[in-house]
């Protein structure tokens, strides 16, 4: 079972991680964080969030790799994933969607866009 209001945020940039977390908390979600890809996988397995907001360019494991790992884990099959990245070229977006992301948001992002996307995916 996944936690119905728990969201995982993973980003190696501390400032952005705090910003995203704050925005989601304000929107009424419970937030757990990870500072790199490996930690993101670990936390996801341990806490089973309902949704993950993953940065793409992270150390240890990239957002794509984390996504692939989560998608390969049957226990996490209901989990939604949003990729949030400053890499916004067509190839990057296409690669993210091909890897099984539910959404791809570009940095910088508008708070209302992020929250709206999360709400939409969890609706």
Measured between alpha carbons, how far is residue 77 from residues 45, 84, 99 in Å? 11, 20, 14
Question: What residues between 77 and 96 interact with another protein by CB under 8 A?
Answer: 85-92
28 interacts with another protein by CB under 8 A: no
107 interacts with another protein by CB under 8 A: yes
Instruction: Name which position in 2, 3, 6, 19 contacts another protein (CB under 8 A).
Output: 19
123 interacts with another protein by CB under 8 A: no
Euclidean distance between CA atoms 28 and 78, whole angstroms: 20
Terminal CA-CA length for the chain: 17
Euclidean distance between CA atoms 69 and 91, whole angstroms: 21
22 interacts with another protein by CB under 8 A: yes
Nearer to another protein, 58 or 70 (CB): 58
Q: Are strands 80-85 and 30-34 parallel, antiparallel or unpaired?
A: unpaired
The site for another protein (CB under 8 A) is made up of 13, 15-16, 19, 22-23, 57, 85-92, 106-111
């Amino acid at each position: 079972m996944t936690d119905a209001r728990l969201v995982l945020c993973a980003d190696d940039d501390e400032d952005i991680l705090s910003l995203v977390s704050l925005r989601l908390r304000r929107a009424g979600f419970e937030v757990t964080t990870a500072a790199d890809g490996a930690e993101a996988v670990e936390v996801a397995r341990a806490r089973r969030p309902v949704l993950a907001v993953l940065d793409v360019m992270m150390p240890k494991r990239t957002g794509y790799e984390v996504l692939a790992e989560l998608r390969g884990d049957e226990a996490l099959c209901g989990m939604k994933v949003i990729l949030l990245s400053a890499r916004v070229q067509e190839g990057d977006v296409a690669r993210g969607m091909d890897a099984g992301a539910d959404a791809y948001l570009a940095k910088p992002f508008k708070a209302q866009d992020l929250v709206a996307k999360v709400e939409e995916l969890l609706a």
